[in-house]
Amino acid sequence: MSDAPLRGQAALVTGASRGIGAATAVALADAGADVAVAYASAAAEAESVAELVRSHGVRAVTLAADLGDSSQAAELVTRTSAELGAVDIIVNNAGVTRDNLAVRLSDADWSQVIAVDLTAAFVICRAALRPMLRNRRGRIVNVSSVGGVMGNPGQANYSAAKAGLIGLTKSMAREVASRGITVNAVAPGFIETEMTAALPDGTRRSAVSAIPAERMGTAGEVAAAIVFLAGPGATYITGHVLHVDGGLGA
CATH architecture of 10-190+222-243: 3-Layer(aba) Sandwich (3.40)
pTM score: 0.96
Between CA 35 and CA 29 the distance in angstroms is 7
E strands of the chain, at which residues?
10-13, 34-39, 60-64, 89-92, 138-143, 181-188, 191-192, 217-218, 241-244
Catalytic residue among 158, 160, 164, 193: 158
- Point out which residues pair with 242 in neighbouring strands: 186
Torsion angle, alpha carbons of 48, 98, 117, 27, to 10 = 30
- Residuewise pLDDT in 10s, the chain (250 residues): 468 999 999 999 999 999 999 999 999 999 999 999 999 999 999 999 999 999 999 999 999 999 999 999 999 999 999 999 999 999 999 999 999 999 999 999 999 999 999 999 999 999 999 999 999 999 999 999 999 999 999 999 999 999 999 999 999 999 999 999 999 999 999 999 887 777 788 888 888 999 999 999 999 999 999 999 999 999 999 999 999 999 998 8
158 is catalytic: yes
